[in-house]
Structure 1
Amino acid sequence: MGRHQPPRPLAAGDVVAVYSEALGAWAVSQVTGIDAAAKCAAVLELDWSGPEPAAVADLGDVRPLRLTHHSWGGMLSYCNHGWVLPRNFTVIGSLLPLVTEPSGAYASVWGRGEQLARQRHWDSGDRGDWNAPYSLTCTAEELAAEHTRGAVRSDVKHLTVRQITRLDCARLVAVFPNLTRLSLSGNLGTLTSAAALNRLPRLQGLTIRELFGMDAADCLLPCHVPEMEEVSLYGIPAGYAAAMRKAWRPQVRHGVQLDVHGARKPEWVAANAANPLRDWDGREHIPRAGYRKAVAQYEATRDAFLAEVTGGERYGDIAEIGRAFAAALNALDSRSSFIETVEREELFEALDFLAEEAQTAAGCDLSAARAALIEGVESSRDW
């Protein structure tokens, strides 16, 4: 396909079907429009489920899925997605688009009947949240308890593990052999035996964030995970990133959404272990010079704060340190306006990190000093 057409053939009016774990049946959606410039498809979920349909005629009279559960208020289940039709979706025919207005919502993952399952749960009279029985979200510490019990969790299909400092993928695969979706994240944590993920033959989606320890030999290979539809990697070793790109780029035309960025060399990891703003490095809307100067200002603020709290309780001086930090970031942001909601939150998280480091070094409670620092920042910031 050319640059102006989806990698898998797709057109307005196409009806697509996919097996839904949420429903235990097949679900269908309609593509109502294609935006070639944005590489997006507007996708309307339909109020239908049943055995695998071979053609649109098998659906009978179909209607759009309207959501009344919780606070949706009758809105259509209608969203823009990337125009890569996932591998396990099948075009079963075409109808005139059931809606013609554009969708204002965006999501990276195509729906697989989860909204229909939630709506049916609500319509049954149960007003509580619908929780997928096949999904598990836990911390790495909680996962270690699963390993200790030694039970095989064949029922878990979607697994999300957060706050990883160190995780053995071979043990994970042994406990959860039937995964279709796996999301792993840490904070410069370490994955070992990552090649073991090739022993998850049903895997359809893999997300890895801010984890290291993998190399090219750990690459997930298409021949071992033939149903894979989404590979999303950020903050991972450069060698692993290169190998994954090489292996999966040819699969995009078969329905794989590939997103690999933030590849890091070992020197970067060592240099940024104590840098809470490291995620800004390479972020699309943050200028390189702005990132470097923000880190330099953070380091200067950290040093000044530590000097004050170890030299006495002159919290008025600490408030001034906060004002200086805010003024410096004001000046940087005025040049290119890169501090948005996420960056603002990350700056305050960096100040919390700074205060925690200083408290450990000083060996005493610095909550009043931290409050003075934040007060100084709040009194002067424009971001």
Structure 2
Amino acid sequence: MKAKAGDVYCVYNEKLKKYTACQITKVEDKDGKQMAVKLSLDWSGEEPLKEAELSELKPLYVDYMYWDNSLDMNNVEVDVPEKYIFVGNVAPIMDESSDSYSYGWGSGDIVYRQLRWQDIPKAKRDAFKAADKSEEKVMFEGEECRISRRNMSDEWIHFEDVLSLRVFPCLSHLTLHKWYKNLYEYLEGYPFLRELELNNHGQKELDFSKSYIDRLSVDMTGVEELVLNDGMEHLILFGEVSDNCKIRTEDNGRTLILYVDGKLPRLSGLDNLGSLHIRSIMELDIEEVLSQYPDLLELRLWGKPGNLINFDKLSGFSKLRFFSTMELFGFSEKDIPEPECFPNLCSLWMDSLPEDAAKMVKKLYKNRAKEGLHLWITKARKPEWLAQNLDNPFRSWDGREGITPSNAKKAADIYRKTRAQVVKLIEGPTSDFEQDIEALVRTYAEGFNKMDKRKYFITTIERDEVFDALSDILCLIPDELGLDKNRMIDIFDDVKEF
């Protein structure tokens, strides 16, 4: 179904456990493609809207956290997701266009967040807003800091008592590299901290049930039990995850997005997990994922690159709405499930995959795409490409918008040549070892300078990838050779012009 200006839709929000509503205020051409402007409405209910109620609808004004009483208006695909319920069509509430774009139509989460914000006592909300707009400075651990500070890490400023952070009324992101005895007290009394990264804490049991955190990144080394609050949306696990570690969370993980790296940990307590993201995959068995999390609504997988085993078992995820892969192989056209296996599928993205599998996906799902499925299949790879690029950190440049095939190849050549020369020096280091490595670092940076001068294309993402590739090369050098690797990075930063 295609959206039309004036259409009003409802969608059920799992966290709110109510329906929310939106209106399509206009449909217009954006760079040759029809896009719909979707406006969130100030409404929620136990049952979907009735057509008779449409005349009373008002737009949602959002002042949640750092929002400034703004409208939630986004350009979205004109195809209406299947989970959206059409209510009726009335004159659009407003006629403005939007410069904001949204991946997918969402599920009314902004309404949930706004209502959750309004549950916080008004005096605390007012103090948050006043601090966020203030130019005032306060003393913290002997340093003068802006009271409006939003992020803090104990690596930036040393402190002993986490309760001292109360001096910052609008802090929302905290990174810690050890355990603090007053951490629970701080989290329970401060409703604005939305993101916490906790490293090297040394605890066997962690209980965040009384916190307000939306997003938790936690070192799981030694953890036997982790208790989450009901509002938790994102859980990022790193470190050594113990087998059968107990995770206690609302609805056994139904509304949670779980992020893990490399492999699938065996966890207890997430039987109803809704969303799973696995990054840096070398090898992953889809059958194993299915056996642990059969009710997944969303499964997103990133390779290093890597291989997927038993890809045909994907058909067992009958509730799947979103599925994506990137740089993953090991499957072929015969493993692609039929569309009938996924009656609720809204989005199917596969980037850098076997060529025959890519052709089969496009063939099988082309009719579903006409019906509204967001189908995006790109970078179909031939077997010989994979053989040549397994060790190439710039393989994703091949086919990326704004990067020519020639520059993608040159980047790979610079990397391989630099790496080979470093390995050769490691095998037979000379008295001039550090000077030789310095020369290679300079040549490496100058190679990318030369490429970028002809046509500027190295922006933030590409700059990070060039840096990461060099860092990986330097990591090959044993510590006993005494190389000052930080100095090499400084030299790279001085030479690079992008």
TM-score if structure 2 supplies the norm length?
0.69
The answer to which structure has the higher helix fraction is 1
State the SS of the aligned residue for 2:265. Answer: helix
State the SS of the aligned residue for 1:368. Answer: coil
Does residue 44 in structure 1 map to residue 39 in structure 2? yes
Does residue 289 in structure 1 map to residue 417 in structure 2? no
Mapped to 2, the partners of 1:140 and 1:305 lie a distance apart of: 28
Please tell me the residue identity of whatever aligns with 2:471: D
Does residue 31 in structure 1 map to residue 24 in structure 2? yes
Change (3 A) 1:140 1:294: closer
Query: Which residue is 2:450 aligned to?
Result: 331
Residue in structure 2 matching 1:279, options 381, 393, 396? 396
Is 1:26–1:49's contact at 8 Å kept on the other side of the alignment? yes
RMSD of aligned residue pairs (Cα, Å): 2.2
State the SS of the aligned residue for 2:341. Answer: coil
CA positional deviation for 1:346: 0.6
Change (3 A) 1:59 1:160: farther
State the SS of the aligned residue for 1:311. Answer: coil
Change (3 A) 1:67 1:378: same
Residue in structure 2 matching 1:137, options 237, 245, 258? 258
State the SS of the aligned residue for 2:402. Answer: coil
Residue in structure 1 matching 2:438, options 270, 294, 319? 319
Mapped to 2, the partners of 1:59 and 1:155 lie a distance apart of: 35
1:41-64 Cα shifts (integer Å, max 9, x gaps): 221111222244364424562222
Mapped to 2, the partners of 1:174 and 1:236 lie a distance apart of: 24
How many residues in Structure 1 have an aligned counterpart in Structure 2? 368
Mapped to 2, the partners of 1:97 and 1:260 lie a distance apart of: 35
Query: Which residue is 1:192 aligned to?
Result: 309
CA positional deviation for 1:274: 1.1
Does residue 347 in structure 1 map to residue 342 in structure 2? no
Please tell me the residue identity of whatever aligns with 2:496: R
Does residue 9 in structure 1 map to residue 2 in structure 2? yes
Q: How does 1:115-126 map to 2 (within 5 A)?
A: 115-125=110-120, 126=191
Change (3 A) 1:305 1:142: closer
Please tell me the residue identity of whatever aligns with 2:5: A
Mapped to 2, the partners of 1:376 and 1:317 lie a distance apart of: 13
Change (3 A) 1:304 1:40: same
Q: How does 1:1-383 map to 2 (within 5 A)?
A: 8-36=1-29, 37-53=32-48, 55-58=50-53, 61-125=56-120, 126-127=191-192, 128=212, 129=214, 130-132=231-233, 133=250, 134-139=255-260, 143-146=264-267, 153-309=270-426, 310-312=428-430, 314-356=433-475, 358-359=476-477, 363-365=478-480, 368-383=483-498
For structure 2, the residue ranges without an aligned partner over 5 or more in a row are: 121-190, 193-211, 215-230, 234-249
CA positional deviation for 1:250: 1.0
Mapped to 1, the partners of 2:447 and 2:313 lie a distance apart of: 47
4+ runs deviating over 4 angstroms = none
State the SS of the aligned residue for 2:266. Answer: helix
Larger Rg over CA atoms:
2
Higher RCO (CA < 8 A, seq sep 6+):
1
CA positional deviation for 1:366: 6.3
Deviates more, 1:32-41 or 1:340-349: 32-41
Mapped to 1, the partners of 2:482 and 2:458 lie a distance apart of: 26
State the SS of the aligned residue for 1:268. Answer: helix
Mapped to 1, the partners of 2:369 and 2:14 lie a distance apart of: 23
Deviates more, 1:316-325 or 1:27-36: 316-325
1:83-138 Cα shifts (integer Å, max 9, x gaps): 22222223322232223222121121212111111222221114333423521313
Mapped to 2, the partners of 1:26 and 1:222 lie a distance apart of: 28
Mapped to 2, the partners of 1:175 and 1:167 lie a distance apart of: 13
Deviates more, 1:19-28 or 1:183-192: 19-28
Change (3 A) 1:367 1:381: farther
Change (3 A) 1:99 1:317: farther
Is 2:55–2:90's contact at 8 Å kept on the other side of the alignment? no
CA positional deviation for 1:261: 0.8
Change (3 A) 1:315 1:35: farther
Change (3 A) 1:81 1:200: same
Is 1:31–1:97's contact at 8 Å kept on the other side of the alignment? yes
Query: Which residue is 2:136 aligned to?
Result: none
Change (3 A) 1:140 1:379: closer
Is 2:309–2:331's contact at 8 Å kept on the other side of the alignment? yes
For structure 1, the residue ranges without an aligned partner over 5 or more in a row are: 1-7
Mapped to 2, the partners of 1:304 and 1:12 lie a distance apart of: 61
Percent identical among aligned pairs is: 29
